[in-house]
Amino acid sequence: YSFKFAGSPHLASKLENKKIDKNKIKDAYKNLQNKFESVLVESSGGVLVPYNAKDFMIDIAKELNMPVILVVLNKLGAINHTLMSLESLEKRNIKIKGIIFNNQCDENKTILEDNIKIIKTISKIEILGSIDYCLDKEKLKNDFKEIGVKLCK
């Protein structure tokens, strides 16, 4: 699904008068799984973002038995947001492959570094990497390559 309005799936679909059918998503995922060794799925807005008035993105991941890589916008407030997301995933017995920190460019470096350290200490979840805001494609490619290596272990 792709919507013009950059908002939560429940709102964006409502504004375009389109219903999100989770079975369509599940069928597309299974089709891709049959064709490729690995399938990477990007969710929209977080694990507890609704795609309709009662169901969440996390529900689809659970039904498909998908392991999750949690991508965190690293800024002030990331500790609480991350730990609540991890708790929601763990409560549903969803495998967590690791965490990637997407560093906000105008945030204090001390906060960015401490967020990573304290989340790793508290959660015991593998930190796959940290990505700085950057327009240098080669640097980004190398940063993502390092994360990919960790995921393939």
- Give the neighbor-by-neighbor strand order of the sheet with 68-74: 68-74, 96-103, 127-132
pLDDT of residue 133: 85
What count of residues does the chain have? Answer: 153
Six-digit token pair at 5? 């309005």
Q: Which two three-digit tokens encode residue 74?
A: 């690293």
Instruction: Tell me the per-residue pLDDT of 23-79, one tens digit each, with 9 for 90 and over.
Output: 999 999 999 999 999 899 988 889 999 999 999 999 999 999 999 999 999 999 999
The verdict on pTM exceeding 0.85 is yes
CA torsion angle 125 129 133 136 (round to 10): -160
- pLDDT bucket at 107, cuts 50 / 70 / 90: confident
Residues 87-107 have a mean pLDDT of 94
Classify burial at 124, counting beta carbons within 10 Å of its beta carbon; exposed 0-12, middle 13-18, buried 19 or more: exposed
pLDDT at position 6 is 92
